[in-house]
Amino acid sequence: MPPPRRSRVISVAPGDAPEAATPRSRITADGVDDATLVSRALDGDRWAHEAIFRRYVDDVLGLATRMLGDASEADDVAQDTFTVALSRLDRLEDRTRLRSWLIGIAVHRVRRRFRARRWLRFVGMGSEGEIGLFELASNGASPEVKADLALIDGLLRTLPSEERIAWMLRAVEGEALEDIATITGASLATVKRRIHAVEVRLGAMVGRGTS
């Protein structure tokens, strides 16, 4: 399997989450939809395995990079995600939801990284190389947006991992609320509560109202 490629990073500001849901099934230049791709992979088609990786590696790697703020850790998460996913494709019940399923596997591995970081900090071995949304912001981001991102980074590092993940899936990755519930294994009400809790704190920090 080829190494993951780095994803394009999106500049965000608090409360700017897109309303449109991400399409459940993607059809790319090869003309094969996700459900067909999964079926072919389950039949042993090696091209289909590689096509799944190529189709979604940027999504998975980008998410892991923005959540973890560490390129090396993100690369490991992406590799683990596709290794696990391609060995467990038979467990994917709705083959049109391949992307959400992959993101869910990646988020599970991100959670494990967050837990490991907490332990390392506890024993005085926390990483000093972690970068945040400010460093990942696109070059075209305005000074005002970058200033907000720096404040957001500081807050995110103090949050429980479940709140951090839910908010980033919504505000940074643009996932639909229903998909976030599926990805994180939480109820829709819990997802909304977690996101709202972060938005309230962000609103107080940057002086913006919350919805």
Q: Which one, of 86, 94, 21, 88, lies nearest residue 56 by Cα?
A: 86
Contact 56, 113 (CB under 8 A): no
| DSSP H helix total and E strand total for the chain | 9, 0
Longest dimension (CA), the chain: 55
- pLDDT of 209 reads 42
Tally of CB atoms within 10 A around 79:
18
Q: Which CATH class is domain 22-126?
A: mainly alpha
Is the pLDDT at 42 greater than 80, yes or no?
yes
**Domain spanning 132-211 has what CATH number?**
1.10.10.10
Q: Which one, of 136, 104, 114, lies nearest residue 12 by Cα?
A: 136
Domain ranges for the chain, please list them: 22-126, 132-211
- pLDDT of 161 reads 87
Q: Which of 98 and 7 is assigned the larger pLDDT?
A: 98
Q: What does the pLDDT look like over 135-193, one tens digit per residue?
A: 555 566 676 766 777 777 778 888 888 998 999 899 888 899 999 999 999 999 999 99
pTM (2 d.p.)? 0.69
Tokens found for residue 114: 């967050």
